[in-house]
């Protein structure tokens, strides 16, 4: 008895490579399974390197009869009890093979990047015999329901984030080497939209308090905006170049975040949500300014510190407290990591998907593994 994961796309998309992380979790739990991937694809290479049981198959939009027959024989030989289609092509080919092999349970992942017309065709052709479909968001769930899909079949499981790029301890000195910091410097990362004059004044005043307290505290500003040059000029005028460094938005964010000691952000920044998760994935304590809604991940004195947005001194004092109390900083950083890993990691996503398999099998009286 075995489970099949079929991903005909074959791309390696980091946090969107749902099939890879589910396959890893199946292996961790000891389930017998086959991971069917596009032959000669990046995903095949990644899965092989991870030691997963990979079966490469040539999928194409036309002439898939041989692929259907190969999958049928593999499913029949392995006594496949559940198959998960991760894209429309794997469903197109795999659903035919699963029907021939009489696989009792079939799961599909919703195709969020497809057009509504294509999704409608996808549903009509390949999902009529599906037992469950995974939607990566509530918006996609609504799209499916509006298209006529039974809401009882849909399970919302968001894409998880791959935290492995943030676990490299060697990256800790990335900014130190890039900006010539001393190993004892305390690096404060600040995400800010440099378009709000009030935010700029607030940031400058807070930085002045930090500079007075210790020259070891350095502020690394991650953000861009029309007032970027004005802000840099303001810091130059107060000799702030020794404490404030402007990086803009960085593509190598895992290296940047891993180099920091504290992360400061504001609830008013809609674009900072991913940055917040990145910071917590690096075990950084978070100082969060209370503007609007506070994310679930930030709990005062549990995963970070929440401060008033109108007092630069209070913000500076929160950073100074973490500078002076490294045990507290480490505690908050670890709790922050524990939260996002449990809730938002690719491993958490994979665990939820397999829990869904098990619940579905129990309801249908099917034995997995």
> Tens digit of pLDDT for each residue in 59-112?
876 657 888 999 999 999 999 999 999 988 888 889 899 999 999 999 998 765
What band does 115 get if pLDDT is binned at 50, 70 and 90? very low
The pLDDT of residue 327 is 96
What architecture (CATH level 2) is domain 2-162+345-364?
A: 3-Layer(aba) Sandwich (3.40)
Which of 218, 208, 210, 209 is CA-nearest to residue 185?
A: 218
Q: Is the pLDDT higher at 323 or at 168?
A: 323
Are 75 and 98 within 8 A, CB to CB? yes
Are 86 and 112 within 8 A, CB to CB? no
The pLDDT of residue 276 is 86
Dihedral sign, Cα of residue 180, residue 212, residue 199, residue 172 = positive
What band does 170 get if pLDDT is binned at 50, 70 and 90? low
Which of 169, 199, 179, 213 is CA-nearest to residue 264?
A: 199
The pLDDT of residue 143 is 82
> Tens digit of pLDDT for each residue in 35-47?
999 999 999 999 9
Whole-angstrom distance, CA of residue 28 vs CA of residue 35: 14
Query: Could you give the percent of the chain with pLDDT greater than 70?
Result: 80
Q: What is the mean pLDDT of the chain?
A: 84
- Every domain of the chain and the residues it spans: 2-162+345-364, 165-344
CATH number of 165-344: 3.40.50.2000
Q: Is the pLDDT higher at 237 or at 201?
A: 201
Which of 67, 259, 302 is CA-nearest to residue 171?
A: 259
The pLDDT of residue 329 is 97
The pLDDT of residue 297 is 79
The pLDDT of residue 121 is 45
Are 243 and 212 within 8 A, CB to CB? no
Whole-angstrom distance, CA of residue 52 vs CA of residue 20: 9
pLDDT of 48 over the 50 cut: yes
> Tens digit of pLDDT for each residue in 260-280?
999 998 655 444 467 888 899
Q: What is the DSSP letter of 292?
A: S
pLDDT of 193 over the 80 cut: no
- Range scoring the smallest mean pLDDT among 2-6, 17-21, 138-142: 138-142
Query: Could you give the percent of the chain with pLDDT greater than 90?
Result: 45
Residue 173 burial (10 A CB sphere; 0-12, 13-18, 19+): middle
Inter-residue long-range contacts of 323-330, CB under 8 Å, 24+ positions, other chains counted: 323/186, 323/213, 323/214, 323/216, 323/217, 323/261, 323/262, 328/285, 329/261, 329/262, 329/285, 330/283, 330/285
């Amino acid at each position: 008895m075995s489970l099949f994961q079929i991903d005909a796309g074959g791309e390696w998309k980091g946090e969107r490579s749902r099939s890879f992380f589910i396959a890893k979790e199946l292996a961790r739990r000891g389930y017998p399974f086959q991971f069917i991937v596009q032959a000669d694809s990046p995903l095949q290479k990644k899965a092989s390197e991870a030691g997963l049981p990979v079966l490469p198959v040539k999928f194409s939009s036309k002439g898939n009869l041989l692929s259907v027959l190969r999958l049928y024989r593999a499913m029949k030989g392995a006594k496949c009890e559940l198959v998960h289609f991760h894209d429309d092509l794997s469903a197109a080919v795999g659903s035919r093979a699963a029907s021939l092999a009489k696989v009792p349970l079939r799961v599909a992942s919703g195709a969020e990047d497809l057009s509504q017309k294509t999704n409608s065709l996808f549903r009509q052709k390949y999902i009529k015999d599906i037992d469950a479909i995974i939607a990566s968001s509530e918006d996609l769930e609504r799209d499916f329901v509006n298209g006529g899909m039974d809401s009882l079949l849909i399970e919302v499981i968001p894409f998880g984030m791959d935290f492995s790029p943030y676990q490299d301890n060697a990256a800790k000195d990335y900014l130190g080497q890039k900006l010539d910091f001393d190993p004892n410097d305390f690096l404060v990362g600040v995400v800010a939209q440099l378009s709000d004059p009030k935010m700029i004044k607030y940031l400058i005043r807070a930085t002045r308090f930090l500079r007075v307290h210790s020259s070891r505290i350095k502020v690394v500003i991650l953000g861009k905006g029309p007032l970027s040059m004005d802000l840099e000029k303001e810091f130059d005028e107060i000799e702030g170049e020794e404490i404030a460094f402007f990086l803009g938005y960085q593509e190598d964010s895992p290296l940047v975040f891993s180099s920091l000691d504290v992360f400061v952000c504001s609830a008013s920044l809609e674009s900072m949500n991913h940055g917040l998760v990145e910071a917590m994935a690096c075990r950084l304590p978070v100082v969060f300014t209370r503007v609007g809604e506070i994310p679930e991940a930030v709990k005062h004195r549990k995963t970070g510190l929440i401060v008033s947005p109108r007092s630069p001194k209070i913000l500076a004092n929160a950073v100074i407290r973490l500078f002076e109390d490294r045990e507290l900083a480490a505690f908050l950083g670890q709790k922050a990591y524990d939260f996002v890993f449990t809730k938002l990691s690719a491993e958490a996503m994979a665990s939820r998907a397999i829990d869904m398999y098990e619940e579905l099998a129990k309801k249908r009286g099917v034995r997995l593994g």
